[in-house]
Chain A
């Protein structure tokens, strides 16, 4: 029991600090974003599991040989007033911390869900009054705004992709198609569930490096996944032009058109791409573009398999350490 809690604590610390820092600096996630996404999910789940597990196992050590018998003994103390003399101060402290952390994580997950749903509903209500349906299909709306903006608002059957007038004016039809495919990929691959889970994870433990790094990485990985879907039907140059035009915030920046050999719009001052908003997902756009401009081959089959094996081990080892001794004994 003691060694189990020791091992889980080491795992929890590794997953909370050095591992996410290494992974967020690694270059390979851009080559196989889906595999990297699975690894981030495994790190988050295994991190939470080993944090709670370590405290639970430590706290139950005096009353049971394994987690299951320990929990049975604890249930006896809580529900049948069995004597608690075997538990010292630190054991009770660890058990309370485990219970609080579990409750905190579940509660934050639910609260974040509620908040996100409420904001989406309000946003959708306003869209229904302000935006007009687009000719591109029932799930697309056009908003009367001059700056080029495109986003999707998930909401089950009422999911919608919103384009601004400014965007429609700035983009050629093929570029617009690339943007729409990109946004619809977010909806069809249900990226909002990942956004929700990692936003809640960060909300719950904001001081932990892993939660911020995980959310930033996941935000950028889903953009890459959606880009890859758009690349199936639209050319690379089209997608890059669309990204550059939207990012620069002005229609047809001469530098962009020139860079891709398009005639006609070379005169006038090159507009400065402006900073829109804070630094929430800093680096995402640049890494997306450099990934498109100088594509790297996807991770080799054996390496991908190795990462997947890591994911499985990350989840299986803590679970097995917690449950198997009890099931065997």
Chain B
């Protein structure tokens, strides 16, 4: 049985790849399919997967603000809130941002490089 983290990842991959909203049943079937060909390897995502497990994963993702539920339809249909590219952009925005309170969240190998600094850097490298 795969961990919840692995399942979250697999579900998000399906939702990002799919064009339209999907029900938990559809997702369960897709997850089971996606693991069929690689029989024998460890860490299968979809083997013996219960729909309730998929629903648990979806509600966790919903709480994290990554997935939204279409109201009013039964069974509920789920879709990704933003695309994979948008979320990557969100991460990069946080990495490259330079607000004082943001600088404490993570430590970059190279911080912001100003034009002046780039000029100095070029001169230094040219001279050596």
Interface residues of A (CB under 8 A from B): 112, 115-116, 119-120, 123, 125-130, 143-145, 147, 149-154, 179, 182-183, 186, 191-192, 195-196, 198-199, 202-203, 206, 212, 215, 219, 222-223, 240, 242-244, 246-249, 255-256, 259, 272-286, 289-290, 293
Contact = CB atoms under 8 A, between A and B. Distances in A.
Contact of A130 (B91, B101, B122, B126): B91
Contact of B97 (A143, A222, A240, A277): A277
A244 B25 CA distance: 51
A284 B105 contact: no
B100 A280 contact: yes
Given A247-B113, A281-B103, 12 more contacts: A126-B87, A130-B87, A144-B88, A149-B95, A153-B106, A183-B107, A195-B103, A199-B103, A243-B109, A247-B118, A281-B111, A286-B120
A273 B126 CA distance: 14
Contacts of A240: 125
Interface string B58-84: 000000101000000000000000001
B107 A123 contact: no
A198 B125 CA distance: 32
A293 B88 CA distance: 35
A276 B93 CA distance: 11
Among all A-B residue pairs, the 3 with the closest Cβ atoms: A280-B98, A281-B111, A199-B104
29 contacts: A112-B101, A112-B104, A116-B104, A119-B102, A120-B105, A123-B106, A126-B87, A129-B12, A130-B87, A143-B91, A150-B110, A151-B109, A152-B106, A152-B107, A154-B107, A186-B107, A222-B107, A242-B109, A246-B109, A248-B118, A249-B113, A255-B122, A273-B118, A277-B96, A277-B112, A279-B112, A280-B98, A283-B114, A289-B125
Contacts of A246: 109-110
B36 to A, nearest CB: 22
B82 to A, nearest CB: 10
Interface residues of B, number: 44
A203 B100 CA distance: 8
A125 B128 contact: no
Interface of B: 5, 8-9, 12, 64, 66, 84, 87-88, 90-92, 94-118, 120-122, 124-126, 128
A219 B108 CA distance: 10
Contacts of B114: 275, 279, 282-283
Contact of B8 (A112, A128, A152, A259): A128
Contacts of B113: 247, 249, 273-276, 285
A143 B110 contact: no
Contacts of B103: 195, 199, 215, 219, 280-281
A184 B100 CA distance: 22
Nearest to B117: A286
A115 B103 CA distance: 12
Contacts of B108: 149-151
Contacts of B115: 275
A273 B121 contact: yes
B52 to A, nearest CB: 22
Contacts of B111: 219, 223, 277, 280-281, 284-285
